[in-house]
Structure 1
């Protein structure tokens, strides 16, 4: 598939560069679009996980996405003020991007030893 936006990128950018760039954009979108969303119950968690996956897959060159929210939410249905908000540390998201002949798998998750929500490249394959 020809990329209609390719002409806007430097000719020095390889397919590998673009695949990594696109994966990083996808993970950044998840952090900035979904953190802070109110969650009341575990059924909300399942819906939000699917919404995150669908949002990622709506973007160009994303071929797979898996979103998991690690925290479980069991707030009182009778108390309208009893809810939580999604934090980046609750997320474990994997995105796979295929651009040209390159496939990148990137992940966002909380790393305890770093005490940080790290987005990183898990794998790069070139055909």
Structure 2
């Protein structure tokens, strides 16, 4: 692992108490570009681009106010091993997210983070473009 343990900040995972209202807010009020939106596995999640930097993921299974940075790593297994050797402990993982395996953890103050290996970088966008995908939310 390099001196900086993570690669790019890919997502800010945001909790929502009213998915439809927030979906409208990010799209219509902020003028964000909707990349994809799904209702799957008991959760509604949508990805917006609202500026340079990571996509904003609004999710109805996260309690607001929540903002969890999700970082990409090159090799999740080796990163996890190195972090564990330094005393790091995961909160959950590996769990599956569309892009690949992911771990979540908290820092000493209780702030949540995620790290994942981007094994399927276009899967969400490709699935959203599939007109036969029963889980996509059209907006």
Q: What is the TM-score of this pair, normalised by structure 2?
A: 0.26
Bigger-Rg structure (1/2): 1
Give the TM-score of the pair, scaled to structure 1.
Answer: 0.28
- Specify which structure has the higher proportion of strand: 2
